[in-house]
Structure 1
Amino acid sequence: MPTVTPLFDISELTENSAKGIELNQRKLFAVCRQGRIYLYENRCPHKGVPLEWLPDTFLDVEKQFIQCSTHGALFTIDKGLCIAGPCAGASLIPVSYEIIDGQLCIPE
């Protein structure tokens, strides 16, 4: 059975919010949208820079898209697809996860 690492309690992630996670120098972030959680690598496909403006601030003002703080690129929450900005057509890297006993966990 593969080992899993818990990242956070899912109760910490409310609807239309995001949360940054750092695990052994790996940067990730999670977004909750319509009751679903999406987990991505915290790296813009354009320059490889972290996306957030401030800690846990990954979404645009209307909370409709993930927005890169460096170039303003917009990504869909459900697919991580860039729809506007210098990396249009590129995608964020999704990360597989499991929810175990209320904890969002990733396989190791």
Structure 2
Amino acid sequence: MHKLCAVSDITEPGSKGFNSTPKGPVFAVRFDGQVYVYANVCPHLSVNLEWQEDKFLDQEDRLIQCCMHGALFRIEDGVCLFGPCEGDSLTAIPHVVENGDLYLAD
């Protein structure tokens, strides 16, 4: 397993990006007591999603937002709710939380 960080390193709600992983660039979102991990790739333009380092969420910290065209994705499953890729989804990355640390699953 590849350790990303301690879960406590991610604010709640909040997000954190990781550029160098065996799965390529990924990001984690901590929301409503859960942690979600996705590939850092917009399904529309194949660009990174964040508008600033570790900033993947909209102003209300309720949805994931693409910096290029404002597409909005549901945190819980990565489905695009608004934007040019509506109906598409972010790629979920298998992960585990163990002893307070976040790991990519093998």
Stretches of structure 2 that go unaligned for 5 or more consecutive residues are none
Aligned to 2:9: 12
Q: Which residue of 1 aligns with 2:63?
A: 65
Alignment RMSD (CA, Å):
1.2
Residue 43 of structure 1: which of 38, 41, 47 is its match?
41
Cα shift readout 1:13-67 (whole Å, capped 9, x = no counterpart) = 1211000012247110001111100100000000100000000010111111100
Aligned length: 105
1:103 maps to which residue? 101
Whole-Å separation in 2 of the counterparts to 1:24 and 1:61: 27
The runs of at least 4 aligned residues of structure 1 exceeding 6 Å deviation read none
Q: Percent identity?
A: 42
- Picking from 4, 19, 22, the partner of 1:22 is 19
TM-score if structure 1 supplies the norm length?
Answer: 0.92
Q: What's the CA shift for 1:72?
A: 0.4
